[in-house]
Amino acid sequence: MKKGLLILLSGPSGVGKGTVRKQIFKNTDLNLAYSISMTTRKPREGEVDGQDYFFVSEERFEEAIKNEELLEYARFVGNYYGTPKAYVEKLREEGKNVFLEIEVEGAKKVLEEYKEDKGVLSIFLLPPSLRELEKRIRGRRSEPEEIIQERLGKAKREMGLKKNYQFNVLNDNINRSSQEIARIIDLKIKANKVED
C-alpha cells in the first residue's frame, strides 16, 4: 500500500482554519485522519486518552521534546501541546492521509522537517483581505485595543509566510474554499499513486 499524505493547513489566526477543516472532513472519499496531539492538560469530562489527546505528564512531555519525538509543540495557558511524529507516521503507513490544521509557527517547523517528503501537501488559507481579517479578530470577543493590536500584528507577520506553501487558497466563502482544498487533496492523492 502507498503511504498516505501529510496535509498541512495553516494560515493567520482568525482566517477560519477550523471551519474549513470541519467542512473538508465531511468528504469521506479523501480518507483523512486527524493527528492526535499530546498534551499535559488534564482530561476534561468525557475526553478519552488516545482519542481526543494523548494525555501525559509534564515530565513525559519534556522528555518527548528532548528526544525530538514532536513535530512541533507550544505552551498555551500553562500547558504543553504538541504533535507526535510517530503517530503521524503510523497513520500514514496505514495509508491514511493525515490532516494537520496548525498555527503558522508550528507549521514552519513541520515544513522544515518534511521538506524532502514528496507526500506533503501544504496549504495556506488567505483571508479575503487584511481588513476582513481585522473584522474577524475584533469580532471574536471584546478585548482591550492593545491585545487586538498585538493579534493584528501577529496575523500580518503570519501572512508573510504564505509564500512557503505549495498552495494559497482564498477563504472568500467557506463552501468554495473547502471545495477547492478538497479538490487539491483529491488531485494530490491520485498524483501520489503515480509519483515515485
| Interaction mask 60-79, a copy of itself, x per CB under 8 A | --------------------
DSSP summary character for residue 127: P
| Cα distance between residue 7 and residue 187, in whole Å | 13
Give the Cα separation of 118 and 120 in Å (integer).
Answer: 5
* DSSP string covering 23-42: HHHT-GGG-EEEPPEEE-SP
Rg (CA), the chain: 17
74 or 187, CB closer to a copy of itself?
A: 187
Position 173 contacts a copy of itself (CB under 8 A) = yes
48 vs 194 by CB, closer to a copy of itself:
194
- Closer residue to a copy of itself in complex, CB, 149/173: 173
* Contact track, a copy of itself, 109-148, x by CB under 8 A: -----------------x--x-------------------
Give which of 5, 11, 16, 4 is closest to 108, Cα–Cα: 11
149 binds a copy of itself (CB under 8 A): no
Q: How far apart are CA 190 and CA 192, in angstroms?
A: 5
- Residue 188 DSSP class: H
Residue 95 sits in the site that holds a copy of itself (CB under 8 A)? no
Q: Does 26 bind a copy of itself (CB under 8 A)?
A: no
How is residue 12 written as a grid cell? 493567520
Does 170 help bind a copy of itself (rule: CB under 8 A)?
A: yes
What's the min distance (Å) between Cβ of 193 and a copy of itself? Answer: 5
Residues forming the site for a copy of itself (CB under 8 A)? 126, 129, 163, 166-170, 172-173, 176, 180, 183-184, 186-188, 190-191, 193-195
